[in-house]
A and B are shown apart, each in its own frame.
Chain A
Amino acid sequence: MDLSYGAAAEAFRAEVRAFLSLHWPPPSDTRGAELKAFIRTFRALATGEGYLYRAIPKIYGGSEQPVDVIKAQVIREEFARARAPMEVGGNGMNMTVPTLLEKGTEEQKELFIRKTVEGDYIWGQGYSEPGSGSDLASVRTKGELSADGKKWIINGQKIWTSQGMQSTHMFMLVRTEPDAPKHDGITYLLIDLDQPGVTRRPIRQMTGEEGDHTFCEFFFDNAETPVSWQVGERGQGWTVSRTTLKHERASIGGADGLGKQFAKLVDLAKEVGRIDDPIVRDKLTQIEGSVLSHRYSSYRIFSCAAAGEDPGPVALMMKLLLTEIGHEMALLAQELIGEHGFLEPAGAGGRSNRGPRGPEKWLDQIMGSLGNSIAGGASNIQRNIIGERGLGLPRDLAMSGER
């Protein structure tokens, strides 16, 4: 075992560092539109060096680099250290771009990839619907061809769209063959959200947050999109939606975040004068056992990815493990903050409302840890995945044949 990245990676690190020291950060008086322009130029330069958008062909604005898990990690680490912007985030990069690269037409690739990479197009995810929950294939939003066969006419509702208020476009699953079996009648469409048939509304969450960064629901009333914006075959949307970014996916970044949060929990115990309490020390180290399991398992998964090996079922477990650890940390935090728990943290109900934050700020984490058990595949679905794909148990009868 060896946790170092090796001499070649360290030489590469020096290159990345030299690049960053030359081009980042911006001069201290850069603000507003000027800062935006600076960041855009910086990203273009970094892409030119092969640091960003490595999985994307050059003709669509990427740097088209061979897969190298270690290099990608070094880039992430150095950019994080310099607090330099990485790739534009969000659904566009995670979902739209890989889907188009694999299944899109030439026209779709040209129309959307560069604009997404440069941050001009922001994509909302249009999978979930009210009433469909974890059974994504039960979508009811209808897509019907216009009389001339050139447009899809869309009617229905989508929900739980992150960044929905800022989204310019949506990729969505719509039911186009109502009589076909559940998984065969779904088509994958791209749609412009800036049109009269689209209404959006933010959803206020239990944390009190609402506004730009939270979920939205969308209503479609005869909204339209050209047939040429359909990705893949009609009725094959379910298969298209399974496309994911395979490139340089492994990272040990998630584990770092958890480690930092645990360190804050230890600080909280000190802050409230409970760090000498043997019960608190025992509980903290108990949680830390799981935090470290998560961290070292991420090393293991990363190491396997770099060597082109399958890490096995542990990779299926990381999300649920993270959720469970978040829950344990929330319970201990709740005990530690005591009567600070009576207070609503500053910042709740909108991120603009920031003020001095005492121990009650942990309420955000305590409630946020609940969101983790739902977002990105509910915990019970994760348990099914571990049971079925990880342990080889037979599928639930109600769901067999569907996944």
Chain B
Amino acid sequence: MHFHLTEEQKAIQDAVRGTLADSWPIERIHAFADGDEDFDRASWHALMALGLGGMLAPDSGMGLLDAALVCEVAGEAAAAGPLIGQLLAVAAVVASGKGDAEALASGAQVATLLHGGSDYAPSARAADLFLIVDRAKGVRLVPAADVTIEPVKAADRTRPMSKVSTPDDAGETLFAATDPMTARLADAALVLVAADALGGAQKVTDMSVAYAKEREQFGQPIGRFQALKHQLAHMALAVEPARALVWYAAYAWDAELPDAPRAAAMAKAHLCDTYIQTTRAAVAAHGGIGYTWEYGLNYWFRRAMADRAWLGSPAEHRARAATLAGW
């Protein structure tokens, strides 16, 4: 049995972590959040230069688990950019044989994800292509020229959204609704959002633990007090075991196990709930400083709200999971 990360997987995470830490120090996140960009070209190319864009191509030797590990680190860093859409677009383009897989895998072409039934897509103004994944209508790849984009003031400042509309017949159909690949891409998207949520939840837990070790009150580090220690233990208890839920969902997808769709729904629902609960607890654990803009916790809190709403709410996916269980 092998159900833990390999040295290679840990090395990939470390490389991504290093690149994103260079691109997104808190000062840069602040500037980005207050600005009007919805993409950072330099950081995007630094990330893509790691050669990870093609992870979901069937012959890459990697898979959804590896992609999830990268998305986890992006969530941790609160990195901007349509990473999930890009990874899925490569998978869709390679599997369908349509489109320019190489340009997408290298990051030269930027693709964002437009979820079926939704009007919103992240980093839309920077996208060359829109991957529309709709369980009911199939998968399409639409060039930016065929899309109307209306930027909105987004709550999640790290992944600005735009309102997007596309004519029904725009672009090229990669997979029909009945093609198994349509459901697989929709499931993969759920797992990658769950991974983003995992990374974010871990990040705010780590921030809280670090703060509790250094901040002193009544002459001692506040992390010594049992009330706060227990609160932090509960945050960790929500996050750390849930990591394996993401791993399993990704593994089930890679191995095409029968319970892969259900595992994806469960992971998305559970991790997005965990993320919002953990960021709330993190703000409380920090006290006043956590409520300030300058400290930065709010970026992860806002990202938690966006992850929760994106691709369908936890309740929606739990309802699907109940049905998939045959209850």
Binding site for B on A (CB under 8 A): 1-6, 70, 266, 269-270, 275, 278, 281-282, 284-286, 288-290, 292-294, 296-297, 299-300, 302-304, 306-307, 309, 311-314, 317-318, 320-321, 324, 380, 382-384, 386-388, 390-397
Contacts and interface: CB of A to CB of B under 8 A. Distances in A.
B230 interface: yes
B181 interface: no
Contacts of B327: 266, 269-270, 275, 281, 284
A305 to B, nearest CB: 10
Interface residues of B, number: 45
Given A289-B269, A384-B226, A394 B221 contact: yes
A392 B209 contact: yes
Contact of B3 (A3, A289, A290, A292): A3
Interface stretch (B51-59, B105-113, B237-245): B237-245
Contacts of B255: 1
A146 to B, nearest CB: 43
Given A1-B247, A299-B244, A70 B1 contact: yes
A300 B247 contact: yes
B3 A281 contact: no
B4 A309 contact: yes
A249 to B, nearest CB: 16
A386 B65 CA distance: 27
Given A285-B266, A320-B237, A292 B248 contact: yes
B234 interface: yes
B224 to A, nearest CB: 4
A270 B250 CA distance: 31
B213 A390 contact: no
A292 B266 contact: yes
Given A281-B327, A289-B266, A292-B248, A297 B319 contact: no
A317 B318 contact: no
A317 B243 CA distance: 13
Interface of B: 1-4, 65, 209, 212-213, 220-221, 223-226, 229-230, 232-234, 236-237, 240-245, 247-248, 250-251, 254-255, 263, 266, 269-270, 273, 315, 318-319, 321-322, 325, 327
A306 B270 contact: no
A391 B233 contact: yes
A303 B3 contact: yes
Contacts of B225: 396
Given A387-B229, A387-B233, A391-B232, A285 B318 contact: yes
Q: Which of B245, B247, B254, B269 has the most CB of A within 10 A?
A: B245
B1 A4 contact: yes
A376 B221 CA distance: 29
A357 B243 CA distance: 38
A383 B234 contact: yes
B233 A390 contact: yes
Given A278-B319, A289-B270, A386-B237, A311 B4 contact: yes
Nearest to B318: A285
B131 to A, nearest CB: 26
A214 to B, nearest CB: 29
Contacts of B240: 297, 312-314, 317
Contacts of B232: 387, 391, 393
A396 B2 CA distance: 38
Given A392-B213, A395-B224, A397-B224, A282 B237 contact: no
A380 B244 contact: no
Contact of B220 (A384, A391, A397): A397
Nearest to A289: B270
Nearest to A315: B240
Contact of B319 (A281, A292, A318): A281
B272 to A, nearest CB: 10
A391 B236 contact: yes
10 contacts: A285-B322, A299-B248, A300-B3, A304-B4, A313-B240, A320-B237, A321-B241, A383-B230, A387-B233, A392-B209
